[in-house]
A and B are shown apart, each in its own frame.
Chain A
C-alpha cells in the first residue's frame, strides 16, 4: 500500500475508534482484553493510541475505571457510565446515518 493511501486509511479509521471502543465497554474490560475483542472483529488499534484514549474517555466521564486485585495480576477495568451509554447510543445513530449516506453516494457512482 502506498504511504498516501496508508495515511488516508488511518485518518478514515481514527474517527471511528472512539465508537469502536465505547461499543465494547458495555461490559467491564481491561486493556488487553479490549485489544483482543477489537482484533477479533478485525479492528487493529495501536497500543499507544488505545491506553491514552481510555484515560481521556475517563476524564470526559464516559467511562469509569477500577482496579481488580483478586486475580494473579492487578488489572484496571473500564466500563461505560450512564452518561457514556447515552453518548454511545447517539454516536451509534450518527454512525449509522453517515454510513447509509455514504453507501448511497458510493452506490450512485457504481451505477453510472
Chain B
C-alpha cells in the first residue's frame, strides 16, 4: 500500500542511514499488525493517525534534541550574549571612529563627517551584533549536540553545575548603589566627545549654512588660539574624568571615597570651565557679530552666553555631587 510506504519513508528519511532499514521493517510489521487482513484505505488512515506525526516518531528514535539550545546551556548562553554583545558593539564603533579619523583629509565639513559616522556607526553596530549573535548561537547549538551527558541540570557561567560556594563570588550590591558599566561607558563617551570637540573647535563649532555640498562651515564660534592656549588645564580635567571612570568601574558601587573624588573632579572642571569661558577674547568677533545680527540681540552677547553656560554647568555639577553623596550614604 502506497500510504504505508510513504509514511515509513517520511519517518526513516529523518534517521541515520544505518538504522533506517531495521526501523522501516519494524514499523511495517507493526502497522500491518494493527490492520485487519483485508484493509481499506480508511483503515490505513486511522492506523497511521494512531502512529502520529512522522517527525515526532523520528525524533523519538533520535537522541538528538529537538531544540537549538536546551535548558542545560540556555542560561550560560544568555549571560555570555549579554557580556559579549556590548563589548563587540563598542569595539566595532571605536575601530570605525579611528578609521574615519585617520582617513580624514580635512576637505569636508566636520558636521557632515559626524552625521556620516553616526549612520555608519548604527549600521556597523547592528551588523556586528548580528554576527556575534549568529556565531555564539552556532557554537552553543554544536555544544548542545556533542554533549552526551544524561544530566539536564543547568550550568553556571563557568560551565559547571551550581554549588552554594558560587555565591561567594557574587558581591552583594543594592541596585541603587550600583555603578553600572553603561554609566561608566557613557561617562567615557562624554569625555571623548567634549575633548574632541574642544581640540577640533575651529572646524567643528560655529555657524553652518546650507551650501551646494551639503552643510558648509561659515565661521567658527571661538577664537581658536585663545581656546587652545588652555590645553594643559583641559588635559588635567580629561585625565581626572578618565581616572574617576576607571575607578568607578573597578569598585562597582558608590562609596564615600568615590563621592569625594567625584566632588574634586567637578570642582576642578568647574573652575577650569569658568576660567576658560570668562576670557573676553574667547569668542570669535565674526561669530559674535553674526549671532547678534541673526537674532537682533542687544547688549554683550559674550557675557550673556558665558553667564548662562556657567550657571548650567554649575547646576549639573552640583546635582551630580549631591547624587554621589546620596548614593554612597544609602544603607545596605
Q: A interface vs B, CB < 8 Å?
A: 30-33, 46-49, 51-53, 55, 67, 73-76
Establish whether residues B52 and A73, one from each chain, have CB atoms under 8 Å apart when the complex forms: no
* Cross-interface CB contact of A51 among B25, B26, B32, B33, cutoff 8 Å: B26
A65 to chain B, nearest CB (A): 9
In the A-B complex, list the 8 residue pairs whose CB atoms are closest, starting with the nearest.
A52-B60, A32-B33, A48-B52, A48-B57, A31-B30, A76-B26, A47-B51, A52-B61
Among B26, B32, B52, B57, the most chain A Cβ lie within 10 Å of the Cβ of: B26
B-side contacts of A67, CB under 8 Å: 25
Taking a contact as CB atoms closer than 8 A, the residue among A31, A47, A55 that contacts B52 in the complex is A47
Asked whether A48 and B51 contact (CB < 8 A) given A32-B34, A55-B61, the answer is yes
Min CB distance, A34 to chain B, in Å?
A: 10
Bound CA span A42–B150, Å = 31
Pair A48/B53 contact, Cβ less than 8 Å? yes
B29 touches A47 (CB 8 A): no
- Contact between chains at A48 and B56 (CB < 8 Å): yes
Summarize B's interface: helix, strand, loop or mixed.
helix
Roughly how many angstroms separate A73 CA and B4 CA in the complex, as a whole number?
15
Inter-subunit contact A73/B29 (CB<8 Å): yes
B60 nearest CB neighbor, chain A only: A52
Question: Which residues of B are found within 8 Å of A75, using beta-carbon distances?
Answer: 29, 33
A46-B52, A48-B57 known; A32 vs B30 contact (CB < 8 Å): yes
Separation of A28 and B176 alpha carbons in the complex (Å)? 68
The residue in A31, A47, A51, A67 that gathers the most chain B C-beta atoms within 10 A of its C-beta is: A47
Taking CB atoms and an 8 Å cut-off, the chain B residues in 57-102 that contact chain A are 57, 60-61
Given A32-B34, A49-B60, A52-B60 in contact, is the A74-B51 Cβ separation under 8 Å?
A: no
Which residue, of B34, B52, B56, B60, has the highest number of chain A Cβ atoms within 10 A?
B60
Task: Tell me which residues across on chain A come within 8 A of B61, comparing CB atoms.
Answer: 51-52, 55
Residue of A nearest to B51 (CB): A47
B27 within 8 A of A: yes
B210 beta carbon closer than 8 Å to chain A: no
Taking a contact as CB atoms closer than 8 A, the residue among B29, B33, B53, B57 that contacts A52 in the complex is B57
Q: Which chain A positions have C-beta within 8 A of B56?
A: 48
Q: How far, in angstroms, from A49 to B58 measured CA to CA in the complex? A: 10
Determine how close the nearest CB of chain A comes to the CB of B14; give it in whole angstroms.
12
